Each structure stands twice: as C-alpha cells, then as structure tokens.
Chain A
Amino acid sequence: MISLFIDTSSFNLLVYLLKDDKVINSCKLEKIKSHSTLVLPEIKRRLNEANIKINDIDNIYVVNGPGSFTGLRIGVTIAKIIGYTLNKRVIPISSLELLATTAFNTDYIIPVIDARRGYVYAGVYDKNLNNILKDQYISLNDLFSKLDDDRTYTFVSYDDMLNIENLIKPNEDVSKLINKHQNDSQINIHNVNPNYLKRTEAEEKLKNDKIC
C-alpha cells in the first residue's frame, strides 16, 4: 500500500511517501513563501527519488484544515485532481490532529494554530489521537475555561503563543496518522474540501445583519 501525504496548511510544506506505515521518502520545507511554486515540484521530486509513479499510489492523505485558507486550497486541489483522475482514495486529515502526533508526556495534548485577534484553532487529543474536545475556532480564554484542572496538558504549536505555558514545537509523526486512518471509509471525491472552521467575513457580516 503506497501513500502520498501532503500538508500545505501552514507556512511549512510536508510531502511524504509511505509504504504501509513506513516513510520511504519525505521533505519538510520550513517557512516557505509560496506553496504554489513548490508543492508539485516537491511531489514530483519525492516520487522520482523513490522511483514510484504517480499511478502506483493507492491513497492520498491531505491535510484539509484548519489553517491558511490559500495554503489549504493548494494541497486539497492537487489531491482532488489526482484522486478524481486516477481514481485514488483521498483521505482528509485535520491539521490539528497532525500536530497532535507530536510526542508528549501529559494526559492530553492541545494543538493550537493562531487565528489572530485572541482567537485560535484548537482541539484536545489523547495519546491515541482521539479528538476529546473537537477541533474549533475559539478564543484562547474560552479554550482555557474548557480545560479540566485535574488533568495535565501539553500545548503544541508552530506559532509563538506568548501567553501559553507548557508550549512545545511540533514534531509530526505521519506514520502514526496513517496507522489510525488507513481504514477510513472512502469519501466522494467532489466532497473532499477544506475544513476552514471559520466562515468568511462577508458571511459573518451578513448573518449578523440579519439578526439585527
């Protein structure tokens, strides 16, 4: 079983090739300026190095959010087109769950992505990647108020969140993710789309205007 894994949700770019749950080729480019110029060349390079043809791939795992709206669309568009044309299974993966694969030694891990103005995208995960508090767009204060004082938490984020204690940098374990999701049921390819977790400002404004 050959899998391609793509993450374009942040300012990093991850492209992995796996045979079952073993990584056979991978790259992690950090702080890149333009995903659009890099993603397909990197996919091509990984495949060439591993001597694998795009047609040999069985599954495409694509991080579909939350994160950079434009970034997400680049990765998901590529995955959708490969999935549709070559009839491959595309499995959407939460960017927060990807962060939650980082090793930790507390009860739970809380992946956090800065969404600005005091808001974050966050969820709570256990060591088996179960999503205890579901991924959401939430203010930091509300997030803290939902945590249980009797439990211990590790926060994980690429962003420098100055007001969070016990914050570590991510060290993704893609094999762990693939292990968990390899039996996920197939989604209709047209319905594989970014999961922004946030409406557009125009939609928010329209909704508020209607309430007023």
Chain B
Amino acid sequence: MDTYILGIESSCDETSMSIVKNGIEEIATVVLTQMDTHSIYGGVVPEIASRMHIENITVVLDELLKKSNMKIEDITAIAVTYGPGLIGSLLVGVEAAKTLSFIYNKPLVPVHHIAGHIYANSLVEELKFPLISLVVSGGHTELIYMKDNYSFEKIGGTLDDAVGEAYDKVARVLDLPYPGGPKIDYLASIGNDTYELPIPKDDNSYDFSFSGLKSAVINLVHNETQRGKQINKENLATSFQNRVVSILTKKTIKALNEYNVDRLIVAGGVAANKGLRNSLTKACLESNKKISFPPMKYCTDNAAMIASAGYFAYKLGRRADLDLNAKASDKLN
C-alpha cells in the first residue's frame, strides 16, 4: 500500500506544506516565502516571521489540498519540522501538525530540519548507503556519515559561524542586499582571485571555522576604505568564495577517502552555490566518487524534504505525541 506523508515546515521564513508518496514522489508542494518582507530589515526578524506564519498557515494548507487534489483523510501520517530553528516560527507548524494529527487520528512524525535537507536528495533518486553528507546553510556546516537510513554520525562541523552566515555578513559589508549568498556567488563568477585572504582552519580535522575569514574580509574592506581605495567587489567575492569552497572541498574529499565512502550528497541552502557545486563535482570526478545535489527548488527550505525524511522516520516507527514541543536547537539523531 502506498504511504502518503503530509510534511509541514516553518522553521525560518518559509511556510511550506507538501504531500510526498512513499518518500520519493512529490505529489504537490506549496511554499510561501517571506523573503521580500525580511529583506527590508537586512535579515530574518523572528517575531515578524512568526506573525506571518500564522497568517499563512491555513492559506498554505488550502492551496496544498487544491493543488494535490487530495483530502487529509487520504494521508498516512503527518510529518513536521520540530527543530532546529526559530522557536516562534517552529511552533506554528508544530501546533498545526499536532492539531491535524488529533482531528484525523493520524500518526505524528517529528523531523529534524537537517534530516529534511539530506533527504531532499531522495526526491530525485534513492539514497544508497553508506554515504557522507555535507550540509551547508545559513545555520549549519556539517559533515555527516550515514551508514544506513536515519543513522547520523556527525564527523565535523563549524566551530563558529555557519557558512551561509559568513556569506550574509560579508555581503552586508559589501553593501549587497539580503540574502547575500547568491549575489556573492554571482560576483565571484565574474571576478578574479586577487585579494590575499587566509584559508580558514586548514588542518587535519573535519571541523570548520569561518569567523576568522569573515573578519579578515571585513577588516580588509575597512582598511581599504580608510585609505580611500576602491574595493573591487567582484574580485573580493571571488577571493572570499575560493577560500570557502577550497576548504569545504578539501575536508569533504578527505572524509570520503578516510571513511572509505563512495557517495557524497550535498544539502542545505548553500548547496545552491555554483562555485561550491563546481568545485565538489570536479573533485569527486577526480577521486572517482559519486556526488548528488538536490535540485535548486529543494535546496531552500521546503516541506517536500520534510515529508520525504518523515516517510523514512515513519517506516522506522518514530512517533511524537500531542505534547510535542518545538526546539530551537537539537542534535540530529
């Protein structure tokens, strides 16, 4: 019998719901993004995000049911992002999911947001284990070893800023509008690597650190401005991005080799970064590893990935009760 999972995602500034069949086939997804509102403030304002989620929650559900031509009665289970994320935002999705689970007497499946990002790949092709996942987003930079479904072993992570966070802060000092990541990626594609910047945490560990590199860029911009020199934004973007991409590539390939794993999946919002995609693809080709990226539409926050991860969690018997709470931070397990 087919399993239909209704996924709900509201951890940051996207209100999203989706129905996915058997963990791999997307039936319909609705994503309502608040990006335009938050761009006025130069970043996501948590209270505004929470307010918009509750205004949109039934609108998104209504659109999803129309788009999928399904009824909630047809759904097997409800999966929801319970964390990590903005607590006020998460709560709207969690309460909506619990209420649906209660009304229709459907199992409730809690999903970790990062598990969602990783399982976004299974909407394109079945995940084969063992694999290593590089999760890169505004809140995360992690290398995760998976020997099977829902087995997550963190082998490295950032000690300070997440990679997407460093992009946003560098974009701000370059006066680029929010969100800065895609704009730096574009500028990097047309500039030259002319600025001297350090390769961050270039050591034998699997950990990352981006705050030093970020500070080096900020100091460089301030010093040049004080000397009355013009900053070449394209070249600075290229120099910054090259350092980030080179250390991410180096440590990821090292992990694949040392764990003797042939498959890499890249996940999270920064997986949309073209510089990173090109570098990792080339390195994997050279070392004979198979690499998968989720399509662009699954890189940013969406509920299809939550429904997909929710399917595998459901199959493993993971359940939550009506007392499920949202968590701003929680270990992936």
- A residues sitting closer than 8 Å to B (CB atoms) are 34, 36-41, 43-44, 54, 69-70, 73-74, 76-78, 80-86, 189-190, 193-194, 196, 200-203, 206
A193–B53 alpha-carbon span in the complex (Å): 10
Flag whether B322 is at the interface (Cβ < 8 A): yes
Q: Contacting A41 at CB < 8 Å: which of B59, B92, B95, B322?
A: B322
User: Would B45 and A77 count as touching, CB distance under 8 A?
Assistant: no
Q: Which residues of B contact A39 (CB under 8 A)?
A: 95
Flag whether B62 is at the interface (Cβ < 8 A): yes
A203–B48 alpha-carbon span in the complex (Å): 9
User: Would B322 and A40 count as touching, CB distance under 8 A?
Assistant: yes
Q: Which residues of B contact A69 (CB under 8 A)?
A: 47, 50-51, 88
User: Would B103 and A36 count as touching, CB distance under 8 A?
Assistant: no
User: Would A194 and B54 count as touching, CB distance under 8 A?
Assistant: yes
Flag whether B39 is at the interface (Cβ < 8 A): no
Q: Contacting B102 at CB < 8 Å: which of A34, A37, A40, A193?
A: A40
With A36-B326, A54-B103 already in contact, the answer to whether A206 and B58 are too (CB < 8 A) is no
Q: Which residues of B contact A54 (CB under 8 A)?
A: 102-103
Q: Which residues of B contact A77 (CB under 8 A)?
A: 54, 57, 91-92, 95-96, 99
User: Would A189 and B325 count as touching, CB distance under 8 A?
Assistant: no
User: Would A193 and B103 count as touching, CB distance under 8 A?
Assistant: no
Q: Which residues of A contact B50 (CB under 8 A)?
A: 69-70, 73
- 17 A-B contacts (beta carbon < 8 Å): A36-B91, A37-B325, A44-B322, A69-B47, A73-B88, A73-B91, A77-B54, A77-B92, A77-B96, A80-B54, A81-B99, A84-B62, A85-B72, A85-B104, A194-B51, A200-B48, A202-B45
Of all A-B residue pairs in the complex, the 9 with the closest CB atoms, nearest first, are: A81-B99, A77-B95, A40-B322, A37-B323, A84-B58, A200-B47, A202-B45, A36-B325, A41-B322
Flag whether B197 is at the interface (Cβ < 8 A): no
User: Would B54 and A82 count as touching, CB distance under 8 A?
Assistant: no
A44–B92 alpha-carbon span in the complex (Å): 19
In the complex, per-residue mask of B304-333: 1 if CB is within 8 Å of any chain A CB, else 0: 000000000000000001111110000000
Q: Which residues of B contact A82 (CB under 8 A)?
A: 99, 103
Q: Which residues of B contact A80 (CB under 8 A)?
A: 54, 57-58
A103–B72 alpha-carbon span in the complex (Å): 44
A72–B184 alpha-carbon span in the complex (Å): 39
A112–B5 alpha-carbon span in the complex (Å): 45
Q: Contacting B91 at CB < 8 Å: which of A41, A74, A201?
A: A74
A83–B96 alpha-carbon span in the complex (Å): 12
Q: Which of B37-66 contact A (CB under 8 A)?
A: 40-41, 45, 47-48, 50-51, 53-55, 57-59, 61-62
User: Would B54 and A36 count as touching, CB distance under 8 A?
Assistant: no
- B residues sitting closer than 8 Å to A (CB atoms) are 40-41, 45, 47-48, 50-51, 53-55, 57-59, 61-62, 72, 87-88, 91-92, 94-96, 98-100, 102-104, 321-326
Q: Which residues of B contact A86 (CB under 8 A)?
A: 103
Q: Which residues of A contact B94 (CB under 8 A)?
A: 36
User: Would A189 and B99 count as touching, CB distance under 8 A?
Assistant: no
User: Would B41 and A85 count as touching, CB distance under 8 A?
Assistant: no
**Chain A: minimal CB distance from B328 (Å):** 12
A189–B96 alpha-carbon span in the complex (Å): 14
A55 nearest CB neighbor, chain B only: B103
Q: Which residues of A contact B104 (CB under 8 A)?
A: 85
User: Would A81 and B323 count as touching, CB distance under 8 A?
Assistant: no
B99 nearest CB neighbor, chain A only: A81
User: Would B102 and A44 count as touching, CB distance under 8 A?
Assistant: yes
A29–B87 alpha-carbon span in the complex (Å): 23
Beyond A37-B325, A39-B95, A40-B102: 13 further Cβ-contacts under 8 Å? A41-B321, A44-B322, A69-B50, A69-B88, A70-B88, A73-B92, A74-B95, A78-B98, A80-B57, A85-B72, A193-B54, A200-B47, A202-B47
A82–B98 alpha-carbon span in the complex (Å): 11
**Chain A: minimal CB distance from B96 (Å):** 5
User: Would A193 and B91 count as touching, CB distance under 8 A?
Assistant: no
A77 nearest CB neighbor, chain B only: B95
